[in-house]
Structure 1
Amino acid sequence: MRARIHRGTQQIGGTLVELEAERQRLLLDCGLPIGAAPDAPVVLPGVPGLAAPDPSLLGIVLSHGHRDHWGLIGHALGMPPIFMGAGTERILAAASFFIRDVPALRGAAHLQDDRSISVGPFALTAHLVDHSAFDAYALTVEAGGRRLFYSGDIRSHGRKSALFERLVRRPPRNIDVMLMEGSSLGRLDEDAYFPTEAEIEAKLTEVIRRTPGMVLVAASAQNIDRVVTIFRAAKRNGRTLVVDLYAAEMLHATGQDSLPQTSWPDVALFTPRHQRIKVKKAGRFDLIERHRTGRLFPEDLAACPDRYVVLFRASLLNDLLQAGCLNGAHAVWSQWAGYLKDEKTVALFAALKAQGIGFDVVHTSGHASIPDLKRLARAIAPRTLVPIHTFEAARFPSLFENVVVRRDGEWWEV
């Protein structure tokens, strides 16, 4: 088995790994770089089968549903088969109604925890992992008597931390090459840890407690762990979590009734005007009908704003202003702090400030701290460890054993 990393040896995001065995090929992820402008021209990497069909490309395996791991697929005219988790498939399909460039993908087969599937000469085993994306996997790939482990994006401090501990306790054995993400290198000191999701819940609980009015929490609706955290913090303060239709559909797409849903008494739906227009134009009234038991209207928000914690995005602001429910409100930014520099985010917080609304940053990473990466590397004990999904590949040899730093586009034997 041969491998080459098309993108990821010197950057975070845009991950694409090509594997070859018996003259047949498989891709692990196929993403757009983080920060790529929505309307920027897309140049496909030189992978036969992306720009035009090629029978030797057997498929693309998606580790999870973040854009920096699937974002090129919508531009792949060759459109090979896709292998992904069923939850990832449902979430992308639901998101495609709301977000123009999200493809509604159908899996040729679904990844399942600790299950193997065969794709030509490749045997794939999926390992469900803790990450800020729902239904995220690490992968073991075997072909030609060689074994490669791909960490995907992984952490140990989320609500599924037990999955990381299980992987460390029962790792795949006899791994020839481990592709390990290093997103935290350069962001975190070597012996430091990111806050746990439980610690984020405690901080949010305190922010909500001291806020006299509505609390606006800007977080990704696809970060299901964070939505659960916000819900729990709201409930601890006797408040209701308010979601828009997009977030309601993300929660529904998980397929898990154990996660917050608008049918719950402490979760409610508020549909902003732009979403109502979209539903009407598309005739998709079934989407709102699915959440009818928990609907709120502007007058409800205005009557008792201190009862609500809103999963917030910029497109909600005008509706909330018109409802007159933001007196005494406070905002929380619960996403990567780097996005605060974006022009649109700067404009959003300027608009909030004009209304007298301050904000706190309460967030943790979707990626493992360096001590946890060390634990993972020691447990798997690969013959070779190759850095990926990192700006700091040159630091790996000082932190981990058996490191070989590869270059983008370089073929090498597993």
Structure 2
Amino acid sequence: MTISNALFRGRVHRGTQQIGGSCIELEADGARILLDVGLPLDADGVSEELLPDVSGLQSDDPSLNAIVISHGHGDHWGLLPLCKPKIPLAMGAATARIMSAAAPFVPNFFVPEITFELIDRKLLQIGPFSITPYLVDHSAYDAYALTIEACGRRLFYSGDIRSHGRKGALFERLVNNPPTGIDTMLMEGSSLGRLDELAQFPTETEIETRLADAFRLPGFIMISASAQNIDRMVSIYRACKRTGRTLLLDLYAMEILRASGNSNLPNVGWPNLSIYVPEYQRRQIAKNKRFDLLQPYKSARIYREHLTDIADKTVMLFRPAMARDVEAAKLWDGARSIWSQWDGYLKEGPGAKLKADFAGRGIALDVLHTSGHASIADLKRLAKAINPATLIPIHTFEGDSFSKYFNNVTRRSDGEGWDV
């Protein structure tokens, strides 16, 4: 549905009432862009019924100038596979590489061909929209907040943001040197309802220290974490170095790290790092004839027959499909497990099943994690720095609570159009 009466108009198609599935449509002078086109977190799978009612996503409409993806989490890009090919895409180059690297390993993959590259604080022109990306701290690598200007009006979109990760300096830079003259701010509020106003999430450095404490205890350790949470991969690796353990990463994790293009991230040849190719990945490679994926990692590979000998000095990045490998190597006795991602995933689905499977083996699942999203205190700092004329809650279940913490809040509903 095209937004009418445009000078510079906006509409949140999904996100004013929930976390995830974000999609914002902007129109100026008859041209339109989308900010994100995410898969809702509670969706059973990708379905055309989930596509927002936006002209041009599945049929020709030249007024849709581009889809701009703020970062590489599926709740911000996951409906892209359903969109018409050749819609111009804007995202960070590393985001595009990571999505491409993930494609051989994950369902609902998407290999993007980007038309416009988001570069930190470099102005990008798409039709009448002047877009300035701001590289931010988030659990997804290469994440951006955005300022969009059109028709003399300015909108700021926070995307997903925090201050307590390994790139926290980016948050400080943003609040100390913010964009000015913002008429409308779309700000995420994932932490509302989950955290007290004055509380702070643990920093990634604190998570590293807690991991190191856990790694000093004896036994084979399995850690469940997202390979695309590169901050966490660094924390796990550094904790291994501090405790003399070897981190076992699979092909998927190594391909993600390599796709980042960052030579300062763990790679082949680094100490305390080996590559283990689990049986299910070996079968995938053989089936798809992707033997090229093995080539860069030959010198650092560890094979199943060696796992038993080194188990007490290793940490395996673990997912449920690796249980057969642990069984074959007889590693269950004395093993320990750590869950290093959102604990909400343990309440149902694969996470709940994994927790039950471990419990059945007498293995406790310890949770060591921090949020990918800003605390309320940091959101208050961000809102004060941006100082928008209007602040619209997004990416939150607690939009009605925003006025308790922030000024100039205006609630909008999904599908409601408004003037920037």
TM-score category by the smaller chain? Answer: over 0.9
Question: How far apart, in 1, do the equivalents of 2:53 and 2:360 lie?
Answer: 48
Residue 147, structure 1, aligned to residue 150, structure 2: no
Name the structure 1 match of 2:45: 38
Tell me the secondary structure at the aligned position of residue 98 of structure 1. Answer: coil
Hey, what's the Cα distance between the residues in 2 that align with 1:40 and 1:329?
Answer: 39
The answer to whether residue 80 in structure 2 is matched with residue 73 in structure 1 is: yes
Aligned counterpart for 1:130 among listed residues 134, 137, 153 = 137
> What are the within-5 Å matches in structure 2 for residues 53-202 of structure 1?
53-77=60-84, 79-202=86-209
1:339-382 Cα offsets, whole Å, 9 max, x none, are: 00123222222222333322211111000000000000011111
Retained in 1: the 8 A contact 2:182–2:387? Answer: yes
Please tell me the residue identity of whatever aligns with 2:344. G
Paired residue type of 1:203: R
1:84 is paired with a residue whose SS is strand
Shift of 1:411: 0.8
Quick check: 1:16–1:30 contact (8 Å CA) kept in 2? Answer: yes
Structure 1 stretches of 4+ moved >6 Å: none
Q: Please show how residues 375-386 of structure 1 align to structure 2 within 5 Å.
A: 375-386=381-392
How far apart, CA to CA, are the structure 2 residues paired with 1:175 and 1:345?
Answer: 41
Question: Residue 120 of structure 2: SS of its match in structure 1?
Answer: coil
Native 8 Å contact 2:46 2:108 kept in 1 = no
> Could you tell me how far 1:78 is from its partner in structure 2?
5.6
Match for 1:204 among 207, 211, 230? 211
Q: TM-score, normalised by structure 1?
A: 0.98
Aligned with residue 345 of structure 2, among 331, 334, 339: 339
Equivalent residue number for residue 406 of structure 1: 412
Residue pairs, 1:251-400, within 5 angstroms: 251-400=257-406
Is residue 130–residue 149 contact of structure 2 (8 Å, CA) maintained in 1?
Answer: yes
The one-letter code of the counterpart of 1:247 is: A
2: CA distance, partners of 1:35 / 1:240: 36
If the length of structure 2 is used for normalisation, what is the TM-score?
A: 0.96
Q: Matched residues in 2 for 1:412 and 1:350: separation?
A: 47
Cα offset, 1:176, TM superposition: 0.7
- Structure-1 residue corresponding to 2:12: 5
**Residue aligning to 2:249:** 243
Match of 1:409, SS state, is: coil
Identity %: 54
Cα contact 1:44–1:51 (8 A) shared by 2? no
Partner SS for 1:234:
helix
Aligned length: 413
Contact 2:184 2:389 in 1 (8 A): yes
2:240 corresponds in structure 1 to: 234
Do the aligned partners of 1:335 and 1:363 also contact (CA within 8 Å) in 2?
yes
CA offsets, 1:171-203, max 9 Å, x none?
001111110000000011111111111111111
User: Counterparts of 2:267 and 2:44 in 1: how far apart (Å)?
Assistant: 32
Give the secondary-structure state (helix, strand or coil) at the position aligned to 1:304: helix
Contact kept, 8 Å, 2:39 with 2:50, in 1: the verdict is: no
The alpha-carbon deviation at position 305 of structure 1 amounts to: 0.4
Aligned partner of residue 249 in structure 1, secondary structure: helix
Q: Which runs of 5+ in 1 are unaligned?
A: none
**8 Å CA contact 1:117, 1:123 repeated in 2:** yes
Partner of 1:22: 29
Q: CA deviation at 1:42?
A: 3.6
Change (3 A) 1:40 1:22: closer
Computed over aligned residues only, the root mean square deviation of the Cα atoms, in angstroms, reads 1.2
| Residue type of the alignment partner of 1:254 | S
Q: What's the secondary structure of 2:392's corresponding residue?
A: strand
What secondary structure is seen at the aligned counterpart in 2 of 1:290? helix
Looking at structure 2, the residues matched to 389 and 349 of structure 1 have their Cα atoms a distance apart, in angstroms, of: 28
**What corresponds to 2:5 in structure 1?**
none
